[in-house]
Amino acid sequence: MTEVGIRELKSRLSYYVQLMQTGETVAIKVRNRLVGFLSKLQPFVQETKRKQRSRNDINKLMKQWEQEGFLAKGYNPHARMTPFRPVRFKGGKTSTQIIREMRDEDL
């Protein structure tokens, strides 16, 4: 594996792409911290016997996900909007005040 800084990668990108095409993995670093890898793309193997789902199966699955809380219905313009109560905040410091205090502590 070859490690490279971002500045060198930008200036010699063609070289590192050629390395990558030969199968070499290139590790990208920014300020000496590893942030990613470049590697050769593996060929996509398509499933030959993929099960075709019917529209009815998909609707059942979506209802199940909705009941389990994984799926939320989208906006329906014909649905009746329910009023909401505004949130009342209790007294205390604002986020700006907290940030200023934290900055003052760092000095």
pLDDT tens digits, one per residue of 43-101 = 665 554 456 667 788 888 888 888 887 777 776 666 666 777 877 877 888 888 888 98
Strand, helix or coil for residue 82 = coil
97 within domain boundaries: no
12 within domain boundaries: yes
Range of the domain at 34: 2-38
Max alpha carbon distance in the chain (Å)? 64
The CATH number of residue 16's host domain is 3.40.1620.10
In this structure, which long-range contacts are made by residues 28-36, counting pairs with CB atoms below 8 Å and at least 24 apart in sequence?
28/4, 29/3, 29/4, 29/5, 30/5, 30/6, 34/3
Asked whether residue 38 carries a pLDDT value surpassing 70, the answer given is yes
| pTM score, whole prediction | 0.40
Q: Which residue has the higher pLDDT, 92 or 11?
A: 11
Predicted local confidence at residue 28, as pLDDT: 92
101 within domain boundaries: no
Q: Report the alpha-carbon angle 29-31-37, nearest 5.
A: 10
Identity (one letter) of the amino acid at 21?
Answer: Q
Asked whether residue 5 carries a pLDDT value surpassing 90, the answer given is yes
